[in-house]
């Protein structure tokens, strides 16, 4: 009886192992790394369903299955397999599931001789189709795969059948492009083969994707730093074609004998100039990161990168539209006018301005400094670059610190929703400033018992009668809102902001002008140019006019102080008229493979620019990430030099040690000490 019980237990355990392997073999198709495929699949793995797949997917082994996954991921965004049931019998498992995704790029089918048979241009439509996968296990790994798929149902959902005449034409054009790409890939492979056969000194370094790796010529700059410029492909589908250059600033490792590698840093934006940020970093920060060369890079089009973005000036005075001043014909005229401001550059360059290409640039830079895996710290939009990198290059990140990150999914795919969430978060931050001001009358001498009403009165006064600044210019309500918004990025600015408001209320602008000089960079307009170019190119703005009109009304209801920030809320309608479409953009899914070192996400509870909810959502989306919460105010945690967060980040950056799950830090910046 005991033997029978033991045998039964062994059988149950074996069945559980088969079940787990079967589940993993299905799920890694969405975001698994090459290493995970080798962990799960047998060296002799055979996919019996590869007859209509690319040449690389045919044959035996995990790499063939990984090629199938890349083929699917390239054409379909937001891929997911939801498992409903797993049945195990001996060494065979059957997985019943639903495959879901969105058709975002051309999908090619192949004939028996691995030639392109049909290409389906992207429709942008979603699909959800049931599938059954049969998987046989041998030697602790999956060795064979068969499937039963509802391919016709998928085709109907995606609009492939019945095809319209226009879709047939698009299909023919797409097919021709894919075949041209195959020829180009063959020639690239031939060149690589010849390079391998050439003398060692003549071989060109390339990334695993075949992208040339530049040699960096570091030169002294900025009093103790080193600068370089890296050529990268403008279009990664043509890696040997036209180039753009990426500006780099390096602080060499303080402890070179114990050097681990390079820590890449991006300060966000899009548009923040890295060289100006690293100059302001205190030496103690570089001491804490002593085992790394710290390299700040500027995304394409920014700062020292070439070519640089520089939009045309706004034509004459520009007054943001409000619900009270709403004029639809004028709004549409203005929208067309605004959409033209940044079109003074090569359209092919403008189309390349997107986060997907920035992440690809980052991988080229990783290879250029000789690091096998990426160590990275990104703040705000820089955090979104990190999420994108983890998704495009699964398993290639050594350490990812995402400080106050942008939620890439809502930012790219639902931009009006993202802007609304940011405006509400900024209103919350301003409310907290007003509340602190009212509670600490000894420190904040603005507004008495009701600082918010005093602020609104000041805005109205400056709108009606701008205050002379003493240099021939004037200070109006828009400028006050801009400086206030920038002040909220750090609680250390609260006290000087209060002094500035008190001065403006008394007609004395000197404190305000000093704060403006401290916060608003002389190149602020260029930062806005970069921001406008990137957001216009890559974000998926709606086409329906009513969406913009409803959005504008809603912003003035939920975020009255920030509804006119930047170019305004109703003015988002300009995005309907932007003619350049992104090339190389990535829209998700944003995942970090389970086999990688978890990402470290840190976020402040009252962030005025990237809501705390975004940090929590980024952790959920990546799936393999840990959240460190900082209870406090401001945007950017390490850039505010929070000691608690820094002590948590350094062990992670050095050797992957994460803070405990649920860890929190407190922000110790009282209003009275905010200047210090």
Please tell me the least confidently modeled range out of 180-184, 254-258, 351-355: 180-184
> Residue 5: which pLDDT band, with cuts at 50, 70 and 90?
very low
Examine the pLDDT at 670 and tell me if it is beyond 50: yes
Nearest to 495 by CA among 487, 507, 505: 487
Per-position DSSP letters for 139-158, written without gaps between them: TTEEEEEEEEE-HHHHHHHH
Phi, psi of 118 (to 5 degrees): -150, 145
Taking the C-alpha atoms of residue 144 and residue 154, their distance in angstroms, rounded to an integer, is: 24
Better-predicted residue by pLDDT, 25 or 9: 25
Better-predicted residue by pLDDT, 193 or 481: 481
Taking the C-alpha atoms of residue 52 and residue 447, their distance in angstroms, rounded to an integer, is: 71
Examine the pLDDT at 215 and tell me if it is beyond 90: yes
> Residue 437: which pLDDT band, with cuts at 50, 70 and 90?
very high
Mutual angle of helices 355-368 and 524-538, in 10-degree steps: 110
- Residue-wise pLDDT for 100-152, tens only, equals 998 888 888 888 777 778 888 888 888 988 888 989 999 999 999 998 887 77
Taking the C-alpha atoms of residue 562 and residue 477, their distance in angstroms, rounded to an integer, is: 11
> Residue 186: which pLDDT band, with cuts at 50, 70 and 90?
very low
- Residue-wise pLDDT for 438-452, tens only, equals 998 888 888 888 999
SS3 content of the chain, % helix, strand, coil (to 5): 45, 20, 35
Examine the pLDDT at 370 and tell me if it is beyond 60: yes
Q: Looking at domain 2-173, which of 3.40.50.720, 3.60.150.10, 3.40.50.920, 3.10.450.50 is its CATH number?
A: 3.10.450.50
Please tell me the least confidently modeled range out of 204-213, 343-352, 604-613: 343-352
Please tell me the least confidently modeled range out of 80-84, 157-161, 373-377, 397-401: 157-161
pLDDT at residue 629, rounded to an integer:
96
Examine the pLDDT at 456 and tell me if it is beyond 70: yes
β-sheet with 219-221: strand ranges across: 219-221, 225-233, 243-251, 292-297, 261-266, 374-379, 397-403, 599-606, 625-633, 664-666
Examine the pLDDT at 37 and tell me if it is beyond 70: yes
Q: Among all chains, which residue has been given the structure tokens 């980040």?
A: 649
pLDDT at residue 302, rounded to an integer:
83
Contacts 24+ apart (CB under 8 A), 66-75: 66/32, 66/34, 66/37, 68/29, 69/28, 69/29, 69/30, 69/32, 69/37, 72/29, 73/30, 74/105, 75/103, 75/104, 75/105, 75/106, 75/107, 75/108, 75/122
Please tell me the least confidently modeled range out of 7-16, 399-408, 466-475, 628-637: 7-16
What residue ranges of the chain are covered by domains with CATH 3.40.50.1820? Answer: 219-308+347-412+588-673
Q: Looking at domain 219-308+347-412+588-673, which of 3.40.1390.10, 3.20.20.10, 3.40.50.1820, 3.30.2320.50 is its CATH number?
A: 3.40.50.1820
> Residue 315: which pLDDT band, with cuts at 50, 70 and 90?
low
What residue ranges of the chain are covered by domains with CATH 3.10.450.50? Answer: 2-173
Examine the pLDDT at 190 and tell me if it is beyond 70: no
The answer for residues whose C-beta is within 8 angstroms of residue 2's C-beta and 6 or more apart is: none
Q: Among all chains, which residue has been given the structure tokens 């820590």?
A: 263
Better-predicted residue by pLDDT, 166 or 560: 560
Q: What is the mean pLDDT of residues 206-230?
A: 89
pLDDT at residue 167, rounded to an integer:
45
Quickly count: other Cβ atoms within 10 Å of residue 480's Cβ. Answer: 23
pLDDT at residue 524, rounded to an integer:
62
Examine the pLDDT at 203 and tell me if it is beyond 80: no
Q: What is the mean pLDDT of residues 334-353?
A: 81
The answer for residues whose C-beta is within 8 angstroms of residue 553's C-beta and 6 or more apart is: 323
Examine the pLDDT at 396 and tell me if it is beyond 60: yes
- Residue-wise pLDDT for 267-297, tens only, equals 888 767 766 677 777 788 888 899 999 999 9
Examine the pLDDT at 2 and tell me if it is beyond 60: no
Query: If you average pLDDT over every residue of the chain, what do you get?
Result: 85
pLDDT at residue 336, rounded to an integer:
83
How many separate helices (H) and strands (E) can be counted in the chain?
21, 19
Please tell me the least confidently modeled range out of 65-74, 200-209, 505-514, 604-613: 200-209
Taking the C-alpha atoms of residue 281 and residue 640, their distance in angstroms, rounded to an integer, is: 10
Examine the pLDDT at 381 and tell me if it is beyond 70: yes
- Residue-wise pLDDT for 622-664, tens only, equals 999 999 999 999 999 987 878 899 889 999 999 999 999 999 9
Examine the pLDDT at 164 and tell me if it is beyond 90: no
């Amino acid at each position: 009886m005991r033997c029978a019980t033991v045998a039964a237990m062994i059988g149950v355990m074996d069945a559980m192992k088969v079940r787990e392997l079967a589940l993993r073999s299905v799920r890694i198709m969405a975001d698994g790394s090459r290493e995970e495929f080798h962990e799960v699949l047998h060296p002799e793995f055979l996919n019996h369903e590869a007859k209509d797949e690319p040449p690389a997917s045919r044959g035996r082994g995990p790499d063939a299955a990984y090629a199938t996954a890349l083929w699917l991921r390239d054409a379909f965004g937001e891929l997911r397999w939801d498992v409903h049931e797993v049945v195990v019998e001996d060494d065979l498992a059957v997985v019943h599931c639903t495959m879901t995704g969105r058709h975002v790029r051309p999908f090619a089918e192949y004939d028996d001789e691995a030639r392109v048979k049909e290409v389906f241009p992207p429709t942008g439509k979603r699909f959800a189709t049931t599938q059954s996968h049969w998987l046989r296990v041998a030697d602790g790994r999956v060795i064979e795969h068969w499937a039963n798929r509802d391919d016709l149902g998928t085709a109907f959902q995606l609009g492939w059948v019945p095809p319209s005449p226009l879709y047939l034409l698009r299909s023919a054009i797409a097919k021709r492009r894919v075949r041209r790409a195959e020829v180009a890939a063959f020639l690239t492979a031939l060149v690589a083969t010849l390079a391998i056969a050439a003398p060692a000194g003549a071989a060109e370094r390339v990334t695993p994707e075949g992208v040339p790796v530049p040699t960096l010529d570091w030169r002294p700059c900025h009093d103790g730093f080193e600068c370089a410029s890296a050529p990268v492909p403008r279009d990664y589908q043509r890696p040997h074609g036209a180039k753009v250059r990426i500006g780099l600033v390096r602080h060499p490792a303080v402890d070179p004998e114990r050097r681990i590698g390079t820590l890449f840093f991006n300060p966000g934006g899009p548009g923040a100039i890295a060289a100006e940020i690293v100059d302001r970093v205190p030496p103690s920060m570089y001491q804490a990161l002593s085992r790394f060369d710290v390299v700040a890079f500027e995304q394409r089009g920014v700062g020292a990168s070439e070519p640089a973005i520089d939009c045309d000036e706004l034509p004459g005075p520009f007054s943001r539209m409000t619900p009270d001043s709403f004029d639809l014909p004028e709004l549409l005229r203005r929208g067309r006018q605004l959409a033209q401001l940044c079109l003074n550059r090569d359209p092919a360059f403008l189309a390349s301005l997107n986060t997907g290409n920035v992440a690809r640039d980052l991988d080229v830079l990783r290879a250029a400094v000789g690091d096998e895996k990426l160590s990275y710290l990104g703040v705000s939009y820089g955090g979104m670059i990190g999420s994108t990198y983890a998704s495009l290059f699964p398993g290639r990140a050594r350490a990812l610190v995402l400080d106050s990150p942008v939620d890439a999914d809502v930012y790219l795919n639902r931009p009006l929703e993202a802007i609304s969430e940011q405006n509400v978060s900024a209103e919350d931050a301003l409310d907290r400033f007003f509340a602190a001001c009212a509670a600490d009358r000894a420190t904040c001498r603005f507004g008495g018992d009701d600082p918010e009403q005093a602020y609104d009165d000041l805005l109205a006064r400056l709108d009606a009668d701008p205050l002379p600044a003493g240099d021939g210019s004037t200070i109006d309500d828009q400028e006050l809102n801009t400086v206030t918004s920038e002040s909220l990025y750090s609680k250390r600015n609260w006290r000087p902001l209060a002094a500035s408001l008190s001065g403006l209320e008394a007609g004395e602008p000197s404190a305000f002008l000093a704060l403006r000089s401290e916060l608003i960079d002389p190149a602020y307009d260029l930062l806005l140019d970069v921001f406008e170019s990137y957001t216009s190119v890559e974000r998926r703005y709606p086409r329906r006019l009513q969406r913009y009109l409803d959005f504008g009304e809603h912003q003035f209801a939920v975020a009255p102080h920030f509804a006119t920030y930047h170019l305004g809320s109703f003015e988002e309608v300009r995005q309907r008229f932007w003619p350049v479409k992104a090339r190389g953009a990535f829209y998700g899914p944003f995942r970090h493979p389970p086999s990688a070192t978890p990402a470290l996400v840190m976020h402040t509870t009252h962030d005025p620019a990237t809501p705390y909810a975004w940090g929590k959502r980024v952790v959920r989306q990546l799936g393999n990430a840990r959240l460190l919460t900082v209870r406090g105010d401001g945007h950017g945690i390490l850039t505010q030099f929070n000691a608690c967060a820094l002590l948590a980040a350094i062990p992670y950056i050095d050797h992957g040690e994460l803070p405990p799950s649920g860890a929190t830090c407190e922000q110790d910046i009282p209003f009275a000490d905010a200047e210090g």
